[in-house]
Structure 1
Amino acid sequence: MSKILKVKNVNDYGHYLGHADLHPWVSVINYAEVSPIRHSLNNYSVYGLFLRDDANVALDYGRGKYDYHKGTLLCVAPGQVGGKEDNGEQVSITGWALLFHPDLLHSFPLEKHIKEYSFFDYRVNEALHMTDEEHDILVSLMRQIQDELFKKPDELQNTILVGYIELMLNFCQRFYNRQFLTRKVENSDILVRFDHLLRDYFEDKLQLTLGLPSVQYCADKLCLSPNYFGDVIKKTTGDTASNHIRRFIIRLAKNGLAAGETVSQVSDRLGFEYPQHFSRMFKKQEGITPSEYCQQLHT
């Protein structure tokens, strides 16, 4: 049975590493100060940002190679499991970790919109690979949060800590946006594979047994997390992955209608449960019903 470290509070992880925490809801760890450490497979009830200068994450993506030699940033959210099971091995690592408990965010706007930072659900192979400048910005913020934790607590401390954390998350989002742009070749390759996947899905008639293709299904087949896949498609096309799927389906529908199929036949062939569901999607995408589209074809 796997040995899993339950990180219910930030000090659960700190205690495992021999790090003394100064705040019940926030922890900043400089790995150089606690190294060497043992591996741990962690079940998180907290948020975590792990900046690893030694992380063994491949920097080869698609057809590109990227000179992000300063390290990687991995982000986790409550409910996730990550890390490597303790096998007794002592490893020397460098980098930083920031952990914060959801309770810290109560009554702050960040509590509601933290879910907008989709990178908390990216997989390890989708980690952020930082330039030297990006790395130094995040380390600087880690140090500033650490300095604040050393100060005597007052009524503004949590406000300041949440402000630093939100600033760090915004920088992470900016850096990920840069990474999407620098990986245009990889991203366009994902888009091509996405279109091939949709084409094969309908050619193999999977819609008749599985229903319409979902973003989750496509992401799984492309070996990507749904969040990362969705973000890549949005950055590449300017539209959501779900809309891309719907537009693909409408193109197939138009071909069928133009070839003389009835609305009901097209609906059945494309895997809709009811014709009215097909008509609703068609009108939402095209502004007219399938019947009105057929009338236009013959005028």
Structure 2
Amino acid sequence: MGEIMNFDTIHDYNTFLGIETLHPLINSIDFTEIGKEYRHARKRYGFYFIFLKDVRCGDLIYGRHTYDYQEGTLVFIAPGQVAGKDDTGEVFKMKGWGLCFHPDLLRGTLLQEKMKDYSFFSYEANESLHMSERERQIIVNCFREIREELKHSIDKHSKSIITANIEVFLNHCMRFYDRQFITRENVNKDVLSRFEELLNGYFESDKPQTIGLPSVQYFADELLLSANYFGDLIKKETGKSAQEYIQLKVIEKAKDKLYNPDKTVNEIAYELGFKYPHHFSRMFKKIVGSSPTDFRGMN
């Protein structure tokens, strides 16, 4: 595995590209204007990075379904994440657009609080946003709007205007991701069906006693998805978060077990994967409205 290049600041990255730093905390880059050739490398970014891969990739196939979003993909990278691939000796020119902005730019703004809602920054590359030509044009316009603002001298209005533009950009991305989830409805249902099978199988095995309560990360790994993408998919399909869905399954299994009078509530809690029985009782009462003991007595 090759070395990782570290870019802690926007200026570090601009220097690597050989371009001017117009603002120390943000840049919007049209890669077609950079004539240099590069070799592949794995890179760690100390800032947010949105990269529009402006290449035609043909029809995209998911399961047995084909989608014609050919114009490009958006990849989202959060501070501290590593992206890219090891040097293979291949030389290439970058294409597309890039928006990189440092977390310090957002400090003290409303957008800083909203960043956690943009969960696509923790998606994997294969879960990137695939856009139609119309969507792509909207996104390119966002890149250009921010770039035009950066050409102005920094003044007291710069921060609010720039962060407002970033928020518009991210809200468009949120809308397009919602569309992407809808257009892949059949694929999503396949994932949901597989999730249900894995969840049932979990409680039919000894995993609750050996691993503990099932986690969102466990099922995301089993389905080869990032936890955030998996969570968003489940939310779109069921209206419940993946964690809520798992908890409801735990309660369903608990109710079945409570009908067996030979097992104590504590024994049932341990069988379900709880380390401490009172955690089980607390969750059960929160969801069902009565304690496990009272539920048993009523039934």
Q: TM-score range by the shorter chain?
A: over 0.9
Deviations 1:78-109 (A, max 9, x none): 11000123344221342100001111112211
CA contact (8 A) 1:62 1:185 kept: no
Matched residue of 2:237: which SS? helix
The residue type equivalent to 2:272 in the other structure is L
40-49 or 17-26: bigger deviation = 17-26
Deviations 1:118-163 (A, max 9, x none): 0000000110001111110010011111111112222212221111
1:31 counterpart residue number: 31
Moved more, 286-295 or 82-91: 82-91
Give the distance between the partners of 1:5 and 1:66, measured in 2 at CA.
35
Distance 1:195 1:276 in 2: 27
- SS of the equivalent of 1:20 reads coil
Map 1:11-30 onto structure 2 (within 5 A): 11-30=11-30
1:264 to 253, 263, 266: 266
Q: Deviations over 1:202-246 (max 9, x none)?
A: 212111111111111111111111111111111110001111111
- 2 CA distance for matches of 1:131 and 1:164? 21
Query: More displaced, 4-13 or 281-290?
Result: 4-13
Map of 2:166 onto structure 1: 165
- Shift in CA distance, 289/270, structure 1 to aligned 2, threshold 3 Å: same
Contact kept in structure 2, 1:57 and 1:125, CA below 8 Å: no
In structure 1, stretches of 5+ residues that fail to align are none
What code does the residue aligned with 2:15 have?
Answer: H
Listed as ranges, the matches of 1:205-244 within 5 Å are: 205-244=206-245
The match for 1:139 is 140
In 1: Cα distance, 2:115 partner to 2:276 partner: 37
How many pairs were matched up?
297
Distance apart, 1:196 and its partner CA: 0.9
- Structure 2 matches for 1:83-162, cutoff 5 A? 83-162=84-163
Residue 14 (structure 1) shift: 2.4
Distance change in 2, residues 1:287/1:227 (3 Å): same
TM-score normalised over the length of structure 1: 0.94
State the partner residue of 2:185: 184
Q: Which runs of 5+ in 2 are unaligned?
A: none
Residues 12-47 of structure 1: CA distance to partner in whole angstroms, max 9, x if unpaired? 222222222311111111111114433231111010
Answer whether contact 2:58 2:68 (CA < 8 A) is retained.
Answer: no
Identity of aligned residues (%): 46
1:263 deviates by 1.8
Is residue 4–residue 43 contact of structure 2 (8 Å, CA) maintained in 1? yes
Distance in 1 between residues matched to 2:58 and 2:109, nearest whole Å: 34
The alpha-carbon distance between structure 1 residues 157 and 274, as it changes in their structure 2 partners (threshold 3 A), is closer
Residue number in structure 1 paired with 2:10 = 10
Deviates more, 1:7-16 or 1:232-241: 7-16
For 1:207 and 1:71, locate their aligned partners in 2 and report how far apart those are by CA, in whole Å.
43
Q: Distance in 2 between matches of 1:189 and 1:100?
A: 36
CA contact (8 A) 2:59 2:68 kept: no
For residues 297 and 182 of structure 2, what CA distance do their matches in structure 1 show? Answer: 43
Match in the other structure for 1:75: 76
**Shift of residue 55 of structure 1?**
7.5
Contact 2:9 2:102 in 1 (8 A): yes
CA–CA distance in structure 2, aligned partners of residues 278 and 75 of structure 1: 38
Spell out structure 1 runs of 4+ moving beyond 4 A.
55-58
Deviation at 1:56, TM superposition (A): 6.1
Structure 2 CA distance, aligned partners of 1:80 and 1:211?
A: 29
Q: Secondary structure at the residue paired with 1:73?
A: strand
